[in-house]
Structure 1
Amino acid sequence: MMSHADVNGLSLYFEEHGSGEPLVLLHGGLGAGEAYGPTLPALAEHRRVIAVDLQAHGRTADVDRPLRPETMADDVAALIAHLGLASADVMGYSLGAKVALRTAIQHPEAVRRLVLVSIPCKRDGWFPEVRATMDQMGPHLAEPMKQSPVYELYARLAPRVEDWPTLIGKTSESLKRDFDWSAEVAALTAPTMLVFADADSVRPAHIMEFFALLGGGLRDAGWDGSGRPAARLAILPGTTHYDISTSPALPAAVVPFLDAPLPQRA
Structure 2
Amino acid sequence: MGQMIDTGGVELWVERRGRGPDVLLISGLGDPVEAWQPQLDGLADRYRLTAFDNRGAGRTPLPEGPLTMPRMADDAAALLRTLQIPAAHVTGFSGGSFIAQELALRHPGLVRSLVLMSTTARPDSYFRAMTRFWEWMVERAPSERAMLEAFYLWIYTPRAHADGLVDRLIDETLAFEHPQSAEAFQRQLAAFSRHDTSDRLDGITAPTLVLSGELDLATPPRLGREVAESIPDAEFEVLPGEAHQPFQEVPEVFNARVEAFWRKVEAGD
Give the AA of the match of 2:235: R
2:258 is aligned to 254
**Greater CA deviation, 18-27 or 34-43?**
34-43
Count of residue pairs brought into register by the alignment:
243
Structure having the higher strand fraction is 1
TM-score, normalised by the number of residues in structure 2: 0.81
Matched, 1:10 2:26: no
Give me the whole-angstrom Cα distance separating, in 1, the residues matched to 2:79 and 2:257: 26
| 1:166-185 matched pairs, under 5 angstroms | 166-177=183-194, 179-185=195-201
2:164 is aligned to none
SS state of the match for residue 233, structure 1?
strand
Q: CA deviation at 1:50?
A: 0.3
Range with greater deviation from structure 2 (166-175 or 135-144): 135-144
Q: Cα distance 1:120–1:150, how it changes in 2: closer, same or farther (>3 A)?
A: farther
One of 123, 129, 133 as aligned partner of 1:132:
129
Q: How does 1:101-250 map to 2 (within 5 A)?
A: 101-124=101-124, 128-138=125-135, 141-142=138-139, 144=141, 146-147=144-145, 148=148, 153=173, 156-158=176-178, 164-177=181-194, 179-200=195-216, 201-215=218-232, 229=233, 231-241=234-244, 243-246=245-248, 247-248=250-251, 249-250=253-254
Question: What's the CA shift for 1:262?
Answer: 4.5
| Equivalent AA in structure 2 for residue 134 of structure 1 | T
Structure 1 gap ranges (5+): 216-228
| 2:105 aligned counterpart, secondary structure | helix
Counterpart CA distance in 2 for 1:136 and 1:70 is 25
Report the residue type matching 1:107 in the other structure: H
- The aligned residue for residue 71 of structure 1 is 71
How far does residue 12 in structure 1 lie from its aligned partner after superposition?
Answer: 0.3
The residue that corresponds to 2:162 in the other structure is none
Find the residue that maps to 1:51 and give its secondary structure. Answer: strand
After superposition, the C-alpha distances for 1:76-132 in whole angstroms (9 at most, x for unaligned) are 0000000112111111111111111111111111111111100101112xxx44331
The whole-number CA distance in structure 1 between the counterparts of 2:136 and 2:67 is: 14
Distance across 1 between alignment mates of 2:80 and 2:237: 27
Q: Say which SS state the counterpart of residue 200 (structure 2) adopts.
A: helix
Go from structure 1 to structure 2 and tell me whether the alpha carbon gap of 1:154 and 1:19 turns closer, same or farther (over 3 Å shift): farther
Work out the CA distance in 2 between the residues paired with 1:108 and 1:143.
Answer: 41
Aligned equivalents of 2:59, 2:93: Cα separation in 1: 18
Aligned to 1:26: 26
**Cα RMSD between the aligned structures?**
2.4
Sequence identity percentage: 29
Asked if the contact 2:36/2:51 (under 8 Å) is kept, the reply is no
Structure holding more helix per residue: 2
Cα distance, 1:173–1:261 mapped onto 2, change above 3 Å: closer
One-letter amino acid of the structure 2 residue matched with residue 47 of structure 1: Y
SS at match of 2:3: strand
Q: State how far apart, in whole Å, the 2-side matches of 1:29 and 1:151 are.
A: 18
